[in-house]
A and B are shown apart, each in its own frame.
Chain A
Amino acid sequence: MTLRSLSSLLLLSLALAGCGDHSMSQQNRYSTFSKAGLFRDGTEAQPLPQGTVAQGDPERSRQITTPPAVDMALLSRGRERYDIYCSPCHGFSGHGDGMIVQRGFPAPPSYHSARLRSADAQHFFDVITHGYGAMYSYAARVEPRDRWAIIAYIRALQQSQHADVADVPELRSKLP
């Protein structure tokens, strides 16, 4: 083989080797939720060591004990969060007839029952936080402030099913 053909072969193999190098696109680090041989359970997602205080933890603790003031913004937030996390079972109007219940999940009690109408807000907060009966905890998915927002919206739902004509301004005059 001549020197020229050897050198061209070398160039070609160098060029092809470039295609097989993934050190930039797959760098030597773990990405979120990737397999990780370094840890005994084989996953990158490690539970927090005991006693860890995450950034914002004092604020979250404060939110647990101090319900925010109820305004329209909080109610809208509550409605949005309720529709995402609660409506699958409790239904959009809170009668406990959501889609998952229609598919066989045990029906939760209606928010419009006498017991839940008279239950205090802390009861709802505790149920969202810790679960109740067949209901799992939603603490990981619903932040404390959002739990209070959802409770405010549940109160609005309860009122919507027990409202008098007198509760709505000027409704009487519009009725036939």
Chain B
Amino acid sequence: MQLFRPGANTIATVMIAAIGAAPVLAVGLSYEVMLSPYVTNQNISRNQPVPFSHEHHVSGLGLDCRYCHASVEKARFAGIPPTETCMTCHSQIWTNALMLAPVRESLSKNQPIAWERVHRLPDYVYFDHSVHVAKGVGCTTCHGDVGRMRLMRQAAPLTMQWCLDCHRSPERFLRPREAVFDPNWQAPKNQAEIGPKLAAGYHINTGHLTDCTICHR
């Protein structure tokens, strides 16, 4: 008596292979989802109450990052400028621009502008801007080519793997102190040579940079 048709062998092989492959594919798919912009928010431009252009203010006008983000050298938080900072210039120029109406309204009503947050770390992560800029990590190393961004977006995935990537060997990214806020800095050809010297000069203890308590306190 013939119980199985000749094709049954193929189906059985495929089924056995599928049972083996399913967990691998499932894990692979989960990883892809975890690292996708859907979860990390990488490269997603957000709609803001005012379409503020870093391209115009950084590349066009040449403003230093610290002109607006004034606490970046002193505090954990780099600082979102108060409305007065915008009005330092816009009380005199573009005073009737429709685009800037929310800024004027914020000043007259004494209500902060509700910007959409672009970079958000999980609450169990401790991060301090001041120590990074003091130790030669430049703005654009993490924030990308801000001077070419019309609307702000998160250039890096901000995953733990991405953080550790630098914490394991920061010398690949370190800059001399005067270049930290340079929006156009590129690693020089001899970075492999000067990087370790910079790390030593900044007293960076690479042996402890990947300790759990460095970021999870």
A10: interface (CB < 8 Å): no
Within 8 A of B (CB), among A30-82: 31-33, 35, 41, 43, 45
Whether B112 pairs with A45 at a CB distance below 8 angstroms is yes
A100: interface (CB < 8 Å): yes
Whether A103 pairs with B61 at a CB distance below 8 angstroms is yes
Bound together, the chains give a CA A165 to CA B91 distance in angstroms of 43
B64: interface (CB < 8 Å): yes
Within 8 A of B (CB), among A68-105: 83-85, 88, 99-100, 103-105
Binds B, one of A112-120, A121-129, A133-141, A147-155: A133-141
B62: interface (CB < 8 Å): yes
Minimum CB distance partner of A136 in chain B: B88
Bound together, the chains give a CA A31 to CA B76 distance in angstroms of 12
Minimum CB distance partner of B76 in chain A: A32
A106: interface (CB < 8 Å): yes
Minimum CB distance partner of A89 in chain B: B89
**Which one of B61, B63, B122 contacts A24 once the chains associate, using CB atoms below 8 Å?**
B122
Contacts of A136 in B (CB 8 A): 84, 87-88, 91
Bound together, the chains give a CA A83 to CA B65 distance in angstroms of 11
**Do A134 and B92 form a contact, CB below 8 Å, given A27-B123, A103-B61?**
yes
**Do A105 and B123 form a contact, CB below 8 Å, given A32-B77, A45-B112?**
no
Contacts of B91 in A (CB 8 A): 134, 136
**Do A83 and B64 form a contact, CB below 8 Å, given A24-B124, A33-B80, A140-B82?**
yes
Bound together, the chains give a CA A46 to CA B7 distance in angstroms of 74
Query: In angstroms, how far is the closest chain B Cβ from the Cβ of A44?
Result: 10
Whether A103 pairs with B67 at a CB distance below 8 angstroms is no
Bound together, the chains give a CA A24 to CA B125 distance in angstroms of 10
Query: In angstroms, how far is the closest chain A Cβ from the Cβ of B97?
Result: 12
Count of residues in A whose CB is under 8 Å from the partner chain: 26
Bound together, the chains give a CA A140 to CA B82 distance in angstroms of 10
**Do A25 and B123 form a contact, CB below 8 Å, given A100-B93, A105-B89, A140-B70?**
yes
**Do A43 and B123 form a contact, CB below 8 Å, given A104-B92, A136-B88?**
no
A26: interface (CB < 8 Å): yes
Contacts of A140 in B (CB 8 A): 70, 82, 84
B114: interface (CB < 8 Å): yes
**Do A26 and B123 form a contact, CB below 8 Å, given A99-B61, A103-B93, A106-B92?**
yes
Give the residue among A26, A32, A141 with the most B Cβ atoms within 10 A.
A141
Contacts of A104 in B (CB 8 A): 92-93
Query: In angstroms, how far is the closest chain B Cβ from the Cβ of A68?
Result: 18
Interface, chain B (partner A; CB < 8 A): 61-64, 66-67, 70, 76-77, 80, 82, 84-85, 87-89, 91-93, 111-112, 114, 122-124
| 30 intermolecular pairs with C-beta atoms under 8 Å apart | A24-B122, A24-B123, A24-B124, A25-B123, A25-B124, A26-B122, A32-B76, A33-B77, A33-B80, A33-B112, A41-B111, A83-B64, A84-B66, A84-B67, A88-B61, A88-B63, A88-B67, A100-B61, A103-B61, A103-B93, A104-B92, A105-B89, A105-B92, A106-B92, A134-B91, A134-B92, A136-B91, A141-B67, A141-B70, A141-B85
